[in-house]
Amino acid sequence: MKPYADIYLFGSLKETFAGELAAPIRLDLKEPKPIMDIVRNFNIDPDAVQLAMLNFRAVSMETTVNPGDRISLFPREYPIFSDWKDLRFR
């Protein structure tokens, strides 16, 4: 198993790290961690994240990330498809 998780940022979230970090961002992850903790560790305002996906599935910010996982974070300006509306962060 990979000892890291890959994080993909989109839109304004990606612009925050433009030129500083390559995509994907490789996060050393020795043990499971909630997405919310990862977002805060990168100094991303949780209110700026409209949708989080873990391994291509929409999830809540409380979802646990394990080593080897892929996280995608989408900002508020991205349109949300109707089947994801219940996972939208308010």
Q: What's at 33, amino acid-wise?
A: K
Predicted local confidence at residue 85, as pLDDT: 56
pTM metric for this prediction:
0.82
pLDDT digits over 69-88, tens only?
Answer: 999 999 988 776 655 556 55
User: In this predicted model, which residue has the larger pLDDT, 42 or 33?
Assistant: 33
Distance of CA 45 to CAs 7, 13, 25, 39, 76, Å? 16, 9, 17, 7, 11
* Torsion of Cα atoms, 67 then 70 then 74 then 78, to 10°: -170
Task: Specify the fold of 4-87.
Answer: Ubiquitin-like (UB roll) (3.10.20)
Residue 82 DSSP label: G
The C-alpha atoms of residue 41 and residue 50 are separated, in whole angstroms, by 17
Predicted local confidence at residue 24, as pLDDT: 87
